[in-house]
C-alpha cells in the first residue's frame, strides 16, 4: 500500500509489540513493565480524606480520594512517592481530577517535581465527594 493510504478495517500493525523493559519513545515518554507501584498519601487539601482504588506505576496511574466533610480546601490533595527514585526529576506531570459524585472536573496540577515524587495540588474540592485523580509522568 502506498504511504499515506489506509483502507478502513485494515490492520495498521501486523503483530503487536510487547514491551517488557524500559522503552523510551519520542524523547521521554516511557512505556513498559518493571516500574514500581508508588506510595500515595492524602494531603491537607483532602482534610482527613481517604484513598482507595490505587492503580498504576511510578510513570502513570490513578486513584480515588474521598474528601473529608471538614478541613478540606485548596492546596495539596495528595502526594505521590515513587517506588524507584528517578535519575532526574520529571520535566512534567500531567494531572486530571474528576468528581465521581456529580460536578465536573476539579482544577488540578503537579507541584514540587522531584526525583522521589511530586505533589498534586487542586482548587478547593467539594467536601464529602469522591474524585478520581489520574497522572502521567514525563521525563
Q: What is the pTM of this model?
A: 0.75
What are the extents of the domains in the chain? 23-138
Does domain 23-138 fall under CATH 2.60.40? My reply is yes
19, 22, 24, 30 alpha-carbon torsion, rounded to 10°: 90
Give the number of residues written for the chain: 139
Predicted confidence at residue 106, as pLDDT, reads 87
CB atoms within 10 A of CB 12: 5
The tens digit of pLDDT for each residue in 3-37 reads 555 555 555 555 656 655 555 554 444 544 447 89
Amino acid at each position: 500500500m502506498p504511504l499515506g493510504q489506509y483502507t478502513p478495517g485494515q490492520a495498521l500493525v501486523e503483530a503487536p509489540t510487547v514491551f517488557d523493559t524500559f522503552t523510551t519513545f519520542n524523547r521521554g515518554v516511557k512505556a513498559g513493565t518493571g516500574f514500581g507501584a508508588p506510595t500515595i498519601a492524602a494531603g491537607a487539601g483532602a482534610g482527613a480524606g481517604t484513598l482507595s482504588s490505587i492503580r498504576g506505576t511510578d510513570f502513570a496511574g490513578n486513584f480515588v480520594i474521598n474528601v473529608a466533610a471538614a478541613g478540606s480546601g485548596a492546596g495539596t490533595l495528595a502526594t505521590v512517592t515513587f517506588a524507584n527514585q528517578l535519575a532526574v526529576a520529571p520535566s512534567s506531570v500531567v494531572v486530571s481530577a474528576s468528581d465521581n459524585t456529580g460536578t465536573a472536573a476539579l482544577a488540578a496540577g503537579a507541584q514540587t517535581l522531584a526525583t522521589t515524587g511530586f505533589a498534586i495540588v487542586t482548587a478547593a474540592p467539594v467536601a464529602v465527594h469522591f474524585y478520581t485523580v489520574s497522572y502521567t509522568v514525563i521525563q
